[in-house]
Amino acid sequence: MTSSPSRSAHHLITRDLAAVAMGQKSADLIFRNGKLVNVCTARIRENCDIAVYKGYIALVGDASHIMTSVDTQVIDVGGKYLCPGLIDSHMHVESSMVDLRSFAAGVLPHGTTTICPDIHEMTNVLGMDAVTLFEESRKDLPLKVLTAMPVCVPSLPGMEDAGATISPAQVKQAYESGLAFLQGEQMNFPGVIHGDETVHKILGHGLAANKVLTGHYAGEDLNAGLNAYIASGMTADHETTTAQGASARAELGMYVQQRYGSAWLDLPNLITAVTENPGTDTRFYTMVTDDVTSATLVTQGHLDRVFRKAVSLGLNPIVALQMITINAAQMLEQSRWIGSLTPGRAADILVVDNLTDFKVEQVFSDGIKVAENGKMVRPISAFQYPEWAINTMYHNRITPLNFQMTAPCTDTVCARVIKLIPGQVNTLSTQAQMPVINGVLSADPGNDIAKAAMFYRHRPDGRADNTRGLGLVSGTEFKPGTAYASTVSHDCHNLLVVGTDDDAMCLAANALIDSGGGLVVVQDNRIISLLPLPFAGLMSLSSVEVTAAGILSIETALQKIGCAHVAFEMTMSLMGLVVLGELRLSNRGLVEMMDGKSPEFVDLIIL
């Protein structure tokens, strides 16, 4: 077992680095004539050189005295910008729907050289084995992978069932074994602020192990609640959706991780906290992706996309770059290693055309060129996943009866309806009058109401087997006779089925049982798109390009069956995330959590 990555080599080569800087030993790599974006001082230094040795920066400034040998690579960047490699301080690899190695190959060409993956998706499916497996899979990658230990598996115990649970003792053990670099998002924010003992035991293990604790505070209360959350040891949070929430966090010494993923596009709502407050110190502001699909990666980019968006919203480009370099590095207490182009730091260096389009032309990771003009120039080998990580669908075949919603013998009933909001993680808890026909409720596509079901799909555990939740959902705009199913269904990743017709829903569900998990769209009793995701039912084993095509095919199919919104498969994937308000569907039923209140099970039909 390797330990988490760090400046492992630095202490062994300080003499060599000094000798290179002094011109007494040959550099491995020299950049000449760059415009260096200095994120430490927020200045651009013209005509700046960088000398690199064994993956570390030996000198920044004038390299005219630096010694070269026949092996020294000298790159004249011709006045282009030299930027530090970008740091994504909160994200989930699984959301890309590819594995870590394909993900690395997908993001490095965009300039992302460090990620902090909270691997709670695969851990909800596979438990601690996922953490160990992930640690093995990141070996020798030219991407710095600072793993965040999942601490909410499941996110709300007692309200849902995952494939595994993670206990406080397991979190402690993971830190002792060097399996994690920081603590993953603490989603059970009600548990934090209301003093849940297990939740605080986990926080305590993180603090005792000197880990940076990342948060997920979705409450509206920016005084008592937010203070209670931060006082409990939380250092960073990506969950705010308002500028007020962003500035409240920064003022309380919490790093704001402004989110701009595939489907939760919070950045424009947050960045005014900075752009409309000149003179504010921005060191506590970062930007993260949280969740991006391979489709977004391939068609729009990664942190480079986030940077472009921020600049288009009026943010000073140097400040934007600081947010995804030095600020993130300081948040991680790793600025002696990453986050700036300064001596003694890792040579994670980007050559960039300009600070508006931010086209990343060359990417160096630890001094090795890994990508050029948007393509990897060094192959990343595949990882052989074990059988137990590939076959994770444990549900028997489903019948249309499984979707039946019985109702009292009246003409109509008042039923709860989950209202999805495109582009946001939130849902609304709404109600609708539904007709009762033959003692059951049906979908009502004419009024944009579909049926939804959540089937427990993990290894048999007795307690949760055969459990399923049923609900109604609006916002899909699904046509009659259509269905969608997915095993990407945060955070327990049970089998989610949404549709307007029980037979279509049945066909969709069984297609995923047969394919080992994935996404599927059904119309007119026919599968019109299927993306198999065999690894934990969450990830393909193909490249980002191939997977992106599959996702785009799903998105096209979703549009075909009536759903017009961007990346709506991601919006639906949160339908089961009970730790977010207001109304969600778990394998145990409907869970309502209104602001300031604790989550509770509620009935579909309001009597």
> What is the footprint of a second copy within residues 230-249 (CB under 8 A)?
230-235, 247
> Which DSSP state fits 28?
S
Q: With respect to a second copy, which residue has the nearer C-beta, 225 or 301?
A: 225
15 binds a second copy (CB under 8 A): yes
Q: Which of 26, 33, 44, 61 binds a second copy (CB under 8 A)?
A: 61
From 2-10, 431-439, 472-480, 566-574, give the range in contact with a second copy by CB under 8 A: 2-10
Q: Which residues inside 40-59 make contact with a second copy, applying CB under 8 A?
A: 40-43, 45, 56-59
Q: Which residues inside 282-311 make contact with a second copy, applying CB under 8 A?
A: 283-284
Q: With respect to a second copy, which residue has the nearer C-beta, 125 or 250?
A: 250
From 38-46, 156-164, 397-405, 417-425, give the range in contact with a second copy by CB under 8 A: 38-46
CA distance 328 to 148: 14
CB 146 within 8 A of CB 5: yes
Pairing status of strand 213-215 against strand 605-606? unpaired
Q: With respect to a second copy, which residue has the nearer C-beta, 17 or 441?
A: 17
CB 212 within 8 A of CB 66: no
Min dist. Cβ of residue 306 to a second copy (A): 21
Amino acid type, 400: P
7 binds a second copy (CB under 8 A): yes
Min dist. Cβ of residue 387 to a second copy (A): 39
Q: Which of 4, 20, 311, 366 binds a second copy (CB under 8 A)?
A: 20
364 binds a second copy (CB under 8 A): no
Measured in whole angstroms, the distance separating CA 340 from the mean position of its chain's CA atoms is 24
Pairing status of strand 236-237 against strand 213-215? parallel
DSSP 545-593: HHHHHHHHHHHHHHHHTT--STTHHHHHHTTT-TTSSSEEEETTEEEE-
The packing angle between helices 128-137 and 100-107, to 10°, is 50
Amino acid type, 385: Y
Min dist. Cβ of residue 583 to a second copy (A): 25
Q: Which of 2, 3, 22, 412 binds a second copy (CB under 8 A)?
A: 22
Q: Which of 26, 68, 129, 251 binds a second copy (CB under 8 A)?
A: 251
Measured in whole angstroms, the distance separating CA 482 from the mean position of its chain's CA atoms is 29
Residue 10 CA: distances (Å) to CA of 17, 41, 77, 141, 143: 9, 24, 27, 18, 17
CA distance 161 to 288: 28
Q: With respect to a second copy, which residue has the nearer C-beta, 83 or 449?
A: 83
384 binds a second copy (CB under 8 A): no
Q: Which residues inside 467-496 make contact with a second copy, applying CB under 8 A?
A: none
14 binds a second copy (CB under 8 A): yes
Min dist. Cβ of residue 525 to a second copy (A): 53
From 11-19, 149-157, 167-175, 439-447, give the range in contact with a second copy by CB under 8 A: 11-19
| Among 341, 380, 340, 375, residue whose Cα is nearest residue 360 | 375
Q: Which of 1, 11, 409, 463 binds a second copy (CB under 8 A)?
A: 11
Residues 192-231, one symbol each (x = binds a second copy by CB under 8 A, - = not), give: xxxx-x--x--xxxxxx-x-x----------xxx-xxxxx
Q: Which of 1, 12, 401, 607 binds a second copy (CB under 8 A)?
A: 12
Q: With respect to a second copy, which residue has the nearer C-beta, 92 or 144?
A: 144
CA distance 474 to 431: 10
- Return the SS3 of 257: strand
Residue where the block lists tokens 């609708």: 432
Residues found in the chain:
607
Min dist. Cβ of residue 225 to a second copy (A): 7
414 binds a second copy (CB under 8 A): no
Total residues contacting a second copy by CB under 8 A comes to 77
Pairing status of strand 449-455 against strand 495-499? antiparallel
Tokens (6 digits) for 260: 């701009």
Q: With respect to a second copy, which residue has the nearer C-beta, 233 or 599?
A: 233
Min dist. Cβ of residue 332 to a second copy (A): 10
CA distance 573 to 568: 8
Q: With respect to a second copy, which residue has the nearer C-beta, 316 or 426?
A: 316
257 binds a second copy (CB under 8 A): no
281 binds a second copy (CB under 8 A): yes
Q: With respect to a second copy, which residue has the nearer C-beta, 65 or 378?
A: 65
CA distance 375 to 392: 33
CA distance 287 to 67: 39
Distinct helix (H) and strand (E) counts, the chain? 19, 32
Q: Which residues inside 309-348 make contact with a second copy, applying CB under 8 A?
A: 322, 330, 333, 335-336, 340, 342-345
Q: Which are the contacts of 444, defined by CB distance < 8 A and separation ≥ 6? A: 432, 434, 435
33 binds a second copy (CB under 8 A): no
From 14-22, 72-80, 370-378, 381-389, give the range in contact with a second copy by CB under 8 A: 14-22
Other CB atoms within a 10 A radius of the CB of residue 61 amount to: 14
